Amino acid sequence: MSREEETDFFFFSRLFLFPISRSVDYPEEFLIGQLGEFGRYQWIQYLLHLLPAFTGGVHMLSQVEVGATPRHRCLAVNDTILEYVGSCHYVSVRNETLPCKAWEYDRTYYESTIVTDWDLVCDRRWMASVSQSAYMLGALIASSLLGQLSDRYGRWKVLVPTGALQMVFATGCGFVQNYYLYVALRFLIAVNVSGAYMIGFVLTMEMAPDRYRTMIGFSFQLVFALGITVVAGWSYLVRHWPILQIIFGLHSSLMLLHWWFVDESPRWLFSQGRYQECDAIIRKMLIQNGKADAIPEQGFTIDQLQRALSTTTSDIGRQEPLEQPTTNVTPVVVQEGGKEVTTVAVSPPVSSSDRKYGIVDLFKTPRLRSRTLNISLNWFANSLVYYGLTLNSGSLVGDPHLMLFISGIIEVPAYLLSAKIIDILGRRPVISFCLVSGGLACICTTYFPQSSFAWTTATTSVVMLGKSLISISFAIIYNYTAELFPTVVRSSAVGIGSTSARVSGTLTPLIFLLDSLDPKLPSVLFGIVALAAGFFSLYLPETRDSPLLHTLTEGEEFGVGDTGFARLCGGNKSPLDNERVFETAASTANIIQLESQKE
């Protein structure tokens, strides 16, 4: 193989997170300049991984329009109404205050919703909230269950069925005429939508070089926001909820593309000792990128794969052995393009190394445990405030479709602006600032008078500002979680964080019912939780410019002593200091292994 071909081979292998040992001596600065560029294969995979984010935005917020509550008042049934008392009572000709038995609805913005069809108002108002909470509960189940399944059985085996099932359930939801069946289908939609979203994100993060991790994390949130605008647009055009729901369901037909075009995560395959499949995917990547001639005639050696799973050039010379299954490796000669090619054959993993990692591993050591709890609070607060502001957008003064559209589109410039900022300032300070500012916005708007156009405009502006700040924080937390935890438990960490978010998401529609006690109470609660999460996030280590972690040992040693308070007090811990994790990991590896064997 020529010198140029060997350079291309190393370059493209490195793009897919497999920094194969160089057999040629090229200048280091040349290689650094070439790392991290996407080829055709990577772009196709990345765009397909984004589809769950789009359908997630559509299905998560469809309830805002399908389950909207228009203005309403009592409808006379065998009685004469002398006076309306709110929207739930009236004064009869006998001068008695009676509860409504039927209602008439304002049809200005909605011809029909589940609320108008099934009269989910007044003493049945809780049923509309429960239908959205059922969705969040389904997302909660998906976060806790499907994250572990993807760590055990693979990303692809979870992504593909969840994509197909969400289309079936979402489309079928438009044909039901029973409230309880509708709620059940919303639950099932959420299980599959949330599962697909989470796995799509993890797949992309495990494919992405360091320089693209920020952009990718924000792009998922940006596409989710575009899904919200699509909901608003369709709802403006279609005013009957069954037709609208079927249209939303058909958007998930895009997910069927995953069956044919999405590949398993090479990182996950490597962590399971399935080296032959890693080899096959890298070969496929090189071929699709037009570099078939760069495939080495001798194939990928096991030593090259053992030094894999790195996304920064600083790891090229790293000698720390990876946590991996014990395998038997034998060379195999195969026919490829009419030529004999030597590759590797790997037998199933053996001995005690062949174990699965999961949520339990996040709580076995003190630093991973504290970070897991802290990051869970962060997810909880972000979700609570984000969905609180989004689901309540229809209550703002003006066209509810327009308010929802603005709440979605305002996230786009926020993501584009902050994507660069967090690579300059870091993840931790931006998350803390956005949570604190968003929490203050929630609290302040409850005390704005609504007596004039100027005040209602100010309320809308502050709410949208708070929404954009929380959107930024919510977007960062996906990246931040993936960067804080090692590969063997990364999907489980994202899953438990997402679980915390779904718990708060499940509670959000029910918290709105507290406005019957005090109209200010829901927003004040949202604000207090956001302020607390913003404060505690300062205790998390910074991950800017740090390599992705791979083993439990690295995860436990990462960022020791690195807090926002230490930085404010004059500490200047460099992100490069975190790379000492790889030098000290071996000293604690035995402890981790001993604790793992206690299972």
8 Å CB contact between 471 and 407: no
What pLDDT, on a 0 to 100 scale, did the predictor assign at position 113?
95
Most confident of 140-144, 322-326, 589-593: 140-144
My answer on whether 58 and 173 are in the same domain is yes
My answer on whether 95 and 58 are in the same domain is no
My answer on whether 98 and 180 are in the same domain is no
In a domain, 289, yes or no: yes
My answer on whether 371 and 385 are in the same domain is yes
In a domain, 450, yes or no: yes
What pLDDT, on a 0 to 100 scale, did the predictor assign at position 260?
92
Q: Give the neighbor-by-neighbor strand order of the sheet with 81-85.
A: 81-85, 89-92, 97-99
Most confident of 131-135, 346-350, 510-514: 131-135
My answer on whether 342 and 303 are in the same domain is yes
The contacts of residue 532 (CB under 8 Å, 6+ apart) are 377, 381
What pLDDT, on a 0 to 100 scale, did the predictor assign at position 263?
92
Q: How many domains, the chain?
A: 3
CB contact burial 360-370 (16+ within 10 A = b; e otherwise): ebbebbeebee
pLDDT digits (tens, 9 = 90+) for 31-66: 223 323 567 888 899 999 999 999 999 999 999 999
My answer on whether 504 and 408 are in the same domain is yes
| CA atoms of 126 and 171, how far apart (whole Å) | 25
| CA atoms of 502 and 509, how far apart (whole Å) | 12
Q: How many CB atoms lie within 10 A of CB 84?
A: 13
pLDDT digits (tens, 9 = 90+) for 382-410: 989 888 888 777 667 778 999 899 988 98
8 Å CB contact between 259 and 313: no
Q: Of the residues 81, 105, 129, which one is the last residue of a structural domain?
A: 105
Most confident of 183-187, 201-205, 351-355: 183-187
8 Å CB contact between 467 and 385: no
% of residues, the chain, pLDDT over 70:
76
My answer on whether 398 and 522 are in the same domain is yes
My answer on whether 157 and 246 are in the same domain is yes
The 3 state secondary structure assigned to 228-240 is: HHHHHHHHHHCCE
8 Å CB contact between 107 and 159: no
What pLDDT, on a 0 to 100 scale, did the predictor assign at position 322?
39
Give the pLDDT band (50/70/90) at residue 352: very low
CA atoms within 13 A on the CB side of 227: 28
Instruction: Say which residue, 452 or 488, is predicted with more confidence.
Output: 488
In a domain, 555, yes or no: no
My answer on whether 80 and 63 are in the same domain is no
pTM of the model: 0.74
Print the domain residue range for 414: 44-68+119-263+357-539
Mean pLDDT of the chain: 77
What pLDDT, on a 0 to 100 scale, did the predictor assign at position 8?
38
What pLDDT, on a 0 to 100 scale, did the predictor assign at position 334?
41
Residue 344 has pLDDT above 60, yes or no: no
pLDDT digits (tens, 9 = 90+) for 509-534: 888 888 888 888 888 899 899 999 99
Average pLDDT over every residue of 485-493: 82
